[in-house]
Amino acid sequence: MSLTAVRPDLTVETMEGPVRGAVNSGLRTWRGIPYAAPPVGELRLRLPQPVRPWAEVFDATAYGPVPPQPRGRGLLGAGRRTPMDEDCLTVNVTAPLAPAAPLPVLVYLYGGGFTTGAASAEAYDATRLVERGDVVYVCMNYRLGALGFMDFRRYSTPQRPFDANCGLADQVAALRWVQRNIARFGGDPGNVTIFGQSAGAMSVTALMCAPSAKGLFHRAIALSSAPSTAYGPGLPEKWAANLLDLLGVPEADAGQALASLPASRLVEAAVRLTRDVAPESEPGTRAVAPVVDGDFLPLHPIDAFRAGTAHRVPLVMGNMGREGALFDQFEDVLPTKPERIDTMFALTGPDLKDRVLGAYPGYPGKREAVDVGGDAVFWHPGIQVAEAHSAFAPTWSYRFDYAPRMAHLLGLGATHGLDIPAVFGNYASGLGRFLTLAGGGRTAVSVSNRFQGALLRFARTGNPGPMWPAYETQSRKTKIFDRTDQIVPDPHHIRRVAWDGYLGYR
């Protein structure tokens, strides 16, 4: 007997064609649904185009291929055997079995520094989130690395043009798919919350400043965003030239090479650029990142928030207690060492260096240097966004300070990415299970319940609840999530004042 005959409601008539899902963990799931045309051939490095409709029932019971990226990170991206292809623009939907009314929609944007990530990654299993919140969950694949977040427009020809911000445009195309189709899956297209962590949170803050995303979402949650990670026009052009050098491609042959080289070559070069080149030449930047192109992103995101041109939707914005520690130990791309910090200030604000570093007693000690790097990239730009947006729309700020015992044994503390199990309620598997191997499982679940509960209330109502006051520049009240939660006015006041006026690479 066919799956469709057993559960007729698993076949959904989308605007593009019928799709058949499955029942997994007591929820309805649809996987690998195309939301845009395959970005291959003439569409490589071009903005996403509409998908061709289909008439036969599309089998949406298996995940689609993940975007080209380095392998070996199955928890958050591509494992050794994960199918991978440039033809990757698909969405996954998870929904309750029988919703009584249209449900809030949560659309997740995965992290991974714009070079790794996948909607099918184990860490983003939304089973508990959907069960607890009675929501519809959507996660999409979007292009990464050189194929999604570099600017090769200067190498365009009339016969072979290139576009910038392809990865962000993919996200917009997926959000348009949500508006067209999510009601058919039980979701409310008038109540869509975008949320993401790390590069996904950078995408959230960038989409809030993208005119083409207007009206496609109604609330936003940015978990460890680095909103200053958007550049233009000089740095993206320089990095594009650097990438060609790494590929061994002369500028005269750039157009043909970019259009025809295997994706694996572009992946490898982008990884070298982001891990080896940019962290030394421009510490604190991300060479694969959104581009302030004057069109898709008319203004730098922080400038757009300050001008009030960002979409005026309710926003939850926050960071981990020690963002930089993870990078210092496992992904050495931040300015967490005095040499890189010196270079960063020489390029971006030499007159502010002494004042800022004076706010970190013990600098140039290792811990203080790590905190400077994390604050420069994540915390300080996040505060800039929160204080700017709060003048135009409801805004809430948090700091996630809880770390299980294992994280402390590793010398990490509450560092970047350790909030993912709390958001999804996944302390029984994957990263969450590892973090609680040394104990603390009950506490972790308690913190997760409070954090996740507040985010779900926000997605449902636009307010995370009475125990979390809004952020405003008079008191700067911030929710601290830890073993015991608290509200703290203006945490890190001395550091905030010291960083005031720092603009970074723009």
Residue type, 309: T
In the three-class reduction of DSSP (H, G, I as helix; E, B as strand; rest coil), residue 134 is classed as: coil
According to the 3-state scheme, what is the secondary structure of 305-371?
HHHCCCCCCCEEEEEECECHHHHHHHCCCCCCCHHHHHHHHHHHCHHHHHHHHCCCCCCCCHHHHHH
List 380, 389, 416, 492, catalytic entry:
416
CATH number of the domain to which 230 belongs: 3.40.50.1820
Average pLDDT over every residue of 174-190: 98
Q: Is residue 348 a part of any domain in this protein?
A: yes
Q: Is residue 506 a part of any domain in this protein?
A: no
Do the beta carbons of residue 220 and residue 130 sit within 8 Å?
no
Task: Tell me which DSSP letter residue 379 carries.
Answer: I
List 16, 86, 282, 323, catalytic entry:
323
Q: Is residue 332 a part of any domain in this protein?
A: yes
Residue with the two structure tokens 């550091």:
495
198 is catalytic: yes
- Domain span at residue 422 reads 3-499
237 is catalytic: no
Residue 41 half-sphere exposure toward CB, CA atoms < 13 A = 3
Q: Is residue 426 a part of any domain in this protein?
A: yes
The rounded mean pLDDT for the chain is 96
Q: Is residue 12 a part of any domain in this protein?
A: yes
Average pLDDT over every residue of 90-97: 97
Q: Is residue 214 a part of any domain in this protein?
A: yes
Average pLDDT over every residue of 107-124: 97
Residue with the two structure tokens 């999510």:
182
pLDDT at 7: 46
What whole-number distance in Å separates Cα of residue 137 and Cα of residue 95? 6
Q: Give strand ranges (E) for 141-282.
A: 187-197, 219-223
Q: What is the helix (H) or strand (E) element at residue 258, kind and residue range? A: helix 254-260
Residue 379 half-sphere exposure toward CB, CA atoms < 13 A = 28
Predicted confidence (pLDDT) per residue in 124-155, tens digit:
999 999 999 999 999 999 999 999 999 999 99
Predicted confidence (pLDDT) per residue in 369-424, tens digit:
999 999 999 999 999 999 999 999 999 999 999 999 999 999 999 999 999 999 99
Label residue 100 by pLDDT band (50, 70, 90): confident
Q: Which residues on neighbouring strands pair with residue 92, listed in sequence order?
A: 139
Q: Is residue 505 a part of any domain in this protein?
A: no
What whole-number distance in Å separates Cα of residue 129 and Cα of residue 221? 15
Q: Is residue 504 a part of any domain in this protein?
A: no
What whole-number distance in Å separates Cα of residue 71 and Cα of residue 92? 21
Domain count, the chain: 1
List 198, 203, 224, 228, catalytic entry:
198
Q: How far is CA 340 from CA 57, 185, 196, 238, 415, in A?
A: 55, 49, 28, 19, 20
What whole-number distance in Å separates Cα of residue 214 and Cα of residue 211? 6
pLDDT at 4: 37
